[in-house]
Amino acid sequence: MKIYFVTHSTTVDNEKNIVSGWNDVELSETGKKQAKEIAKRFENFNLDLICCSDLKRAVETVKIAFNDKYPVIIDKRLREINYGDFSGKEKTFIDSIKLNYIEKPFPNGESFKDAIERVINFYKELKEKYNDKVILIVGHRATHYAFEVLINKKLIEECLKIPFQWQPYWDYEF
């Protein structure tokens, strides 16, 4: 199975430098323009299917980019980590404490380990059903971390210590 991965486009929270977690925030105007660029980027990729989290920012990214051009699976297992009581906090604050929540859940949220296992369960199910397909997944950082753990065999700690660097897409053979 060939998987391409992109993060959702920029949200109003991203522009304020705060983490959304499971808060259902919208794309900003910049994010809407970025979503249109995703369509151009994947014009010649012969995608069979798109999967995205059920959070508004991922769904909106897919709708703007592809407008029903491909079948879409929306699944809540592809969500960002649930930061619980820390949702809506500044990103710099979360970055300073996130290593404390690899196995311990955020207050009223989940741990990075739990979030990554949730996403990995989705990937394994996807492989069983669509092993010979080319799939685009639109997700979040936790979604990306799960790929890095499952396919590239990175430790969760490694993923969290490396500053997240946006790129046009990541590709994985699974």
Is 136 within 8 Å of 47 (Cβ atoms)?
Answer: yes
Asked if residue 111 lies in contact with residue 104, where contact means CB atoms within 8 angstroms, the answer is: yes
8 is catalytic: yes
Cα–Cα distance, 99 to 47 (Å, whole number): 36
Tell me, yes or no, if 80 is annotated catalytic: yes
Q: Encoding tokens for residue 66?
A: 């592809």
Pairing of the two strands 49-52 and 2-7: unpaired
Give the DSSP H/E element, type plus range, for residue 123.
Answer: helix 112-130
The span from the first CA to the last CA of the chain, in angstroms, equals 5
| Among 60, 80, 110, 148, the one annotated catalytic | 80
The 10 Å Cβ neighbour count of residue 26 is: 12
Residues with catalytic roles: 8, 80
